[in-house]
Amino acid sequence: MARTKYPLEPLEQLREQKSDAAKEALAAAVTAREAQERAVAAAAESARSHEAARDARIATEHGRLAQGALRASDMAMLEAYRMRADAEVEALHARTREEEEALEARARAQTEAQAALAARKAELSVVEKDHAKWDLEQRKRREAAEEEAAQEAFVPKKG
């Protein structure tokens, strides 16, 4: 008996391709989320570093003021520095918030990619199960045909 080809093989191949593409999309989403986590950490560290530098300089200048080592022009420059440093720190905090929002978007994209992969795997599983069932049926048919042929070979001929 000639072996027949599984009729849904093209569908099975298509679903395998879609499953592989979904795996790649999930890997890309995970990589993007991890990179975004690093960007959030870097932005937050930059903001903390600028804040610490600003606070240290202001503390130093206030110490000099307490000692009477500053003039009015020095105080004006210190205030201008403080205002600029405050604006820079606020801009860095805003950047950190933007990075955190981007991280949330990346996390959502990763969740969506996981769901898409699960759906593609489920679709593939349906066809794989059908293929296994079809293979079993084909094997049973071949075995039945072989058994029938064997029985016919041993049946005594009337003559």
Question: Domain boundaries in the chain?
Answer: 16-121
Closest listed residue to residue 60, CA positions, set 84, 88, 82:
82
Which pLDDT belongs to residue 66? 87
pLDDT above 70 (res 61)? yes
Which pLDDT belongs to residue 155? 67
Residue pLDDT, tens place only, 28-53: 999 999 999 999 999 999 999 999 99
Confidence at 151, pLDDT banded by 50, 70, 90 = confident
Residue pLDDT, tens place only, 83-123: 999 999 999 999 999 999 999 999 999 999 999 999 999 99
pLDDT above 80 (res 154)? no
The model's pTM is 0.75
Closest listed residue to residue 147, CA positions, set 135, 139, 156, 159:
139
d(CA 157, CA 159): 6
Which pLDDT belongs to residue 90? 97
Structural contact between residues 70 and 61, judged by C-beta atoms closer than 8 angstroms: yes
Residue 155 C-alpha from the chain's centroid: 66
